[in-house]
């Protein structure tokens, strides 16, 4: 990842309005990430304290993923048909209300997980509308040659949020179980408000506007399915999205961290928070490096290698009973995943026309959700029957095999050298 001199990705200087938009995007991204990290720690800890079941940890992921799957033919067209900033703000505000409801329920005598799961489903529904809209905004805001530059910085602030959120949630949970949810509500509301300060690129805005007018005129199932058709028609796009799906589907070790922390490492909420923060620290360290030396050559090969390293780190996490080794394994696997995220987050928008980005990113969100949330369910089921350590090790081995298979099954991805120079 040392191709070209430092800062070579920069082109023409950003104008003042674009700089303000970038700052607003980065601020929104940080708040969203901190909220996600905090909510993950609080929900996982609370549910495991109530039930002691690895399966319930997996069901949490399934509850969050299901709305994205069921609404994929709605959320994508909404992101393409309406102002993406407005869609993101409304959806994030609704997610904040779900977090407020979790805080209220937790402040009482919370002995049942049923209301928690119901609110997680509601939160997942709001998030399924927010994600396609907000993930399309970076490519709408800066020129194509600037996108890798923005993605690297966006990933850094995301991982900073994934460090800050879990650590803060761990300490707050130790004081009062409802406090992390209050913090999450404030962060989500702030993330939504920041989106109104974003101004999109005029060229992409016009292209998207034309596509939206066409979509409004003929709102058909054919239009809703366009995202799936486009992904299937682009071998590189299909390869990179499906690689993430299957790799993290089997390597969803993070979902079992509450069980690993309690049963194998012997730590409580604060220790769990720092374990979850290791993910953010590892990823942020790599992303900081990528802001100086971004991936610009051998994109496909480096993606496949990164997924293999992710699998190796997952195996190490499952085998160890040492807190230090577990922390380091999480940092390594997260660093490798950061490279994968950087490549995918840059590649997918650049090969997708502006008027289709919402639908394509909604499809990608289902793949990502399947890999993360459905992967968490898979890990929970296996962990329930074989134990968390065995589930994590088997998942890591499967991830390594996936990377090897994709190198053979998607030669176009393996041979991809550079990112596209411009949006199609």
DSSP state of 129: H
- As given in the structure block, the two tokens for residue 152 are 């690297």
Cβ(138)–Cβ(252) below 8 Å: no
Q: Which domain holds residue 386?
A: 16-414
Report the CATH number that the domain containing residue 71 is assigned in CATH.
1.20.1250.20
Let me know if residue 3 belongs to a domain.
no
Q: What is the C-alpha separation between 72 and 76, in angstroms, rounded?
A: 6
Let me know if residue 294 belongs to a domain.
yes
Q: What is the C-alpha separation between 195 and 89, in angstroms, rounded?
A: 7
Cβ(36)–Cβ(180) below 8 Å: no
Q: What is the pLDDT at residue 312?
A: 93
Let me know if residue 105 belongs to a domain.
yes
Into how many domains does the chain fold?
A: 1
Mean pLDDT of the chain: 83
Let me know if residue 355 belongs to a domain.
yes
The pLDDT of residue 229 is above 70: yes
* Rg value, the chain, Cα: 20
Please give the model's pTM, rounded to 2 decimal places: 0.70
Q: Which pLDDT tens digit goes with each residue over 286-309?
A: 988 888 888 888 899 999 999 999
Q: How would residue 421 be classed by pLDDT, with cut points 50, 70 and 90? A: low
Let me know if residue 11 belongs to a domain.
no
Q: Which residues lie below 8 Å from residue 68, measured CB to CB, with a gap of 6+?
A: 75, 124, 127, 128, 131, 365, 366, 369, 373
Q: Which pLDDT tens digit goes with each residue over 91-128?
A: 999 999 999 999 999 988 778 899 999 999 999 999 98
Let me know if residue 410 belongs to a domain.
yes
Let me know if residue 35 belongs to a domain.
yes
Q: What is the pLDDT at residue 250?
A: 66
Q: Which pLDDT tens digit goes with each residue over 182-191?
A: 999 999 999 9
Let me know if residue 422 belongs to a domain.
no
């Amino acid at each position: 990842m040392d191709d070209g001199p430092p800062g070579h990705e920069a082109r023409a200087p950003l104008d003042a309005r674009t700089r303000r938009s970038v700052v607003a995007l980065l601020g929104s991204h940080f708040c969203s990430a901190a909220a996600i990290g905090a909510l993950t720690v609080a929900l996982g800890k609370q549910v495991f304290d109530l039930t002691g079941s690895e399966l319930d940890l997996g069901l949490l992921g399934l509850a969050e993923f299901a709305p994205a799957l069921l609404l994929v033919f709605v959320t994508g067209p909404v992101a393409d048909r309406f102002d993406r900033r407005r869609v993101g703000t409304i959806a994030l505000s609704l997610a904040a209300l779900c977090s407020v409801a979790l805080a209220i329920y937790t402040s009482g005598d919370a002995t049942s997980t049923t209301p928690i799961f119901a609110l997680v489903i509601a939160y997942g529904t709001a998030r399924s509308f927010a994600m396609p809209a907000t993930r399309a905004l970076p490519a709408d805001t800066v020129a194509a040659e600037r996108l890798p530059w923005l993605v690297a910085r966006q990933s850094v602030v995301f991982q900073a949020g994934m460090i800050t959120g879990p650590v803060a949630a761990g300490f707050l949970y130790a004081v009062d179980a409802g406090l992390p949810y209050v913090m999450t509500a404030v962060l989500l509301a702030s993330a939504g408000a920041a989106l109104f300060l974003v101004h999109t690129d005029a060229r992409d805005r016009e292209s998207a506007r034309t596509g939206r007018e066409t979509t409004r005129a003929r709102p058909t199932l054919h239009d809703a399915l366009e995202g799936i058709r486009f992904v299937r028609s682009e071998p590189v796009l299909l390869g990179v999205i499906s690689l993430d799906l299957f790799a993290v589907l089997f390597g969803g070790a993070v979902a079992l961290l509450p069980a690993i922390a309690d049963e194998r490492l012997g730590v409580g909420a604060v220790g769990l928070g720092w374990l979850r923060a290791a993910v953010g620290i590892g990823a942020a360290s790599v992303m900081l490096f990528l802001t100086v030396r971004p991936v610009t050559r051998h994109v496909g090969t480096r993606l496949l290698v990164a997924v293999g390293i992710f699998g190796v780190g997952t195996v190490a996490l499952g085998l160890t009973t040492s807190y230090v080794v577990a922390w380091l394994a999480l940092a390594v696997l997260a660093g490798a995943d950061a490279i994968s995220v950087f490549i995918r987050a840059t590649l997918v928008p650049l090969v997708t026309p502006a008027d289709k980005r919402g639908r394509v990113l909604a499809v990608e969100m289902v793949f990502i959700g399947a890999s993360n949330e459905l992967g968490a369910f898979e890990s929970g089921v296996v962990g329930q029957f074989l134990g968390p350590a065995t589930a994590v090790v088997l998942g890591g081995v499967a991830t390594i095999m996936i990377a090897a298979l994709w190198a053979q099954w998607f030669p176009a991805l393996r041979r991809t050298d550079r990112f596209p120079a411009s949006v199609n």
